[in-house]
Amino acid sequence: MRSRSNCPKNEPAKWAGQDWERAWQSALRRTNGMPPDLVSTPMMHDSLMTMDEAFIHGDSMKFETSLIELLDRCAELVNRGDHQQWW
């Protein structure tokens, strides 16, 4: 029986340059054309700052989580009828 210390750890996958490019393109598609009143909200600012920080540190899991939150928030605003779809 193997001890726990010998078990491989589930390290987050390291993203290649193309993975980061695709992720940033997803974020840019959602933020380009965003209504001005949304651009200045703390929610959007926090999402973008978190993604930027995650990118700097190579933390793909944190970046992906923040991107999903951004996409979900935007979709929620449109689905509630607060805004027209801009992407």
Report the number of distinct structural domains present in the chain.
Answer: 1
Q: What is the pLDDT of residues 34-67, one digit of tens each?
A: 998 888 889 888 998 999 999 999 999 999 999 9
- 60 found inside a domain: yes
Does residue 83 fall inside a structural domain? yes
Please check the confidence at residue 19 and state whether its pLDDT lies above 80. yes
Mean pLDDT throughout 7-34? 80
Instruction: Tell me how far CA of residue 9 lies from CA of 1, 2, 27, 72, 75, in angstroms.
Output: 17, 13, 30, 30, 35
Residue 4 lies in a domain: no
Residue whose entry in the numeric block shows the structure tokens 């029986």: 1
Q: Kindly state the DSSP code that residue 10 receives in the 8-state scheme.
A: -
Q: Does the residue 50 lie in any domain?
A: yes
Q: What is the helix (H) or strand (E) element at residue 78, kind and residue range?
A: helix 60-79
Q: Is 63 inside any structural domain?
A: yes
- pTM of the full predicted structure? 0.75
HSE (CB half, 13 Å, CA atoms) of 6?
3
